[in-house]
Amino acid sequence: MSKRIKVFILAVIYSLTAFSTFSVQASKVTYSKSLQQIYKSRDVYKDTQKRLSEFNKNYSNITYLFSAGKSVQKRDLSVLKIGNGSKKIFINAAHHPREYIGTILTLNQIQNLLESYANNGSIDGQKIRNLLDKQVTFYFMPLVNPDGVQICINGTQSYYFNANKVDLNHNYDALWSKKITSTYSTGAKPFSEPETQAVRDLCLNIEFDLTIAYHAAGDIIYWYFGQQGADRTRDLAYANILKTTTGYSLVSSANYKSSTSGFKDWCVQKLKIPSFTIEIGGKRGIIKPVEWSYYNTIWKQNKLVPVRVAKQLMKQTKFNGDKTTALIYKNSLFRQGQILSVNGKQYIAEKAVPMLAGKLSINQQNKLNKTKISIKKTPYLRLETLAECLNLKFKFEKTSNTVYIS
């Protein structure tokens, strides 16, 4: 063998190794800003977006970044999906602007999971590759209220609303009633706001098995909203795991109706899934963002939360209903029309995609018609054919029951 060929083969082997040895690649990951810098930034939204993109770029074999919708001021409500397991956990933060230390916490939880995955490591004795490849998928939305957070950090430290002056965590449809004062606003009706609509549609499309919303402060956990029987037992078990993990106390289930129409309340009452509000950042109320000096303690208390609830979720045997199929179209959650799976193929109601009318050639239309089916007299288009006609990539991920067209 000539020396030249030998060198060439070695170079090929070297580059293949470099690509396949994920942990080597992962250990080199650097970020443009530290978490502390993001917290103290004048543009937390932009820097959070940047960090999510960096996660998505560096760990693309296990992540997927998409937008669940837009805020009042048209900022993206970004969601980072991690994993391919069939059970789905949704963790969000910053419904309330001044509580955005939760944004930093969720970014840190994401990083911890991704690094552990890349290094084939364990968290709390749980092999993270086993968890994320087969069992559980996490969906993180670190900024539910990006407009409000920007208002908070650029002058009004105590800010509590979205850009329409609505308290997003009193805008969900769970014992909602109209109340609007200068310091309190439930909005004109349940889900009046684009942010709560996006969170609602995300939940209805993806069908989470458990949700956690981070707020501040108090070191307490809300878990109850009228559950009875087996649901109460199930949810109290999770609540006790969270209590042990964080060291926080559980809020008494008596008088739970004194605060209503929150995200957790809606998840418990309408979706009938375990759902928790965790108040981080010390045993006190706050009227401005939590000081950074609290962060180390917050991290220690909440580092294990995602994996602890995931482990309990794997033990849970009874789930609510069948999974619907979600469609992520060009990196955004597609919100009109329901996707149906028939014989392993995915279909969308023709009327749900009106923007196609007139855009397809006769050939494309004919092609689409060949795989069209009718369900209860309603015409449905096959998504795979639709993607082909539009020259787009189609992917169906069976474990998370999600269609990607990009």
The verdict on whether omega for the bond into residue 174 sits within 30 degrees of 0, i.e. cis, is no
How would you classify residue 97: left for phi > 0, otherwise alpha for psi between -120 and 50, otherwise beta? alpha
Q: How far is the CB of 304 from Zn ion (least distance, A)?
A: 22
* Among 195, 279, 291, 388, the one annotated catalytic: 279
CB of 256 to Zn ion, least distance (A): 16
Beta strands 136-141 and 76-82 are antiparallel
Q: Which of residues 94-113 bind Zn ion (CB under 5 A)?
A: 96, 99
Part of the chain binding Zn ion (CB under 5 A), chosen from 30-38, 129-137, 215-223, 363-371: 215-223
215 binds Zn ion (CB under 5 A): yes
Closer to Zn ion at the Cβ: 99 or 147? 99
Does residue 170 contact residue 186 with C-beta atoms inside 8 Å? Answer: yes
Q: Kindly identify the residues of this chain, within the stretch 32-61, that bind Zn ion according to CB under 5 A.
A: none
Give min distance, CB of 94 to Zn ion, in A.
Answer: 9
| Minimal distance, residue 283 CB to Zn ion, in Å | 15
Report the distance separating Cα 50 and Cα 376, nearest Å: 45
- Rounded to a whole number of angstroms, the minimum distance from the CB of residue 287 to Zn ion is 12
Active-site residue, 193 included: no
3-state secondary structure of 87: strand
Cα–Cα distances in Å, from 241 out to 123, 138, 262, 276, 284?
A: 16, 18, 22, 12, 23
DSSP count for the chain of H helices, then E strands: 14, 18
> With respect to Zn ion, which residue has the nearer C-beta, 99 or 115?
99
Question: Can you tell me the distance from the alpha carbon of 227 to that of 230, in angstroms, rounded to the nearest whole number?
Answer: 8
- Pick the stretch among 90-98, 130-138, 242-250, 386-394 that binds Zn ion (CB under 5 A): 90-98
Cβ nearer to Zn ion, comparing 48 with 401: 48
β-pairing, 402-405 with 378-382?
A: unpaired
Single out the segment in contact with Zn ion by CB under 5 A; choices: 92-100, 258-266, 280-288, 295-303: 92-100
Residue closer to Zn ion (CB basis): 68 or 290: 290
List, by residue number, the catalytic residues.
Answer: 279
Chain contacts with Zn ion (rule: CB under 5 A): 96, 99, 215
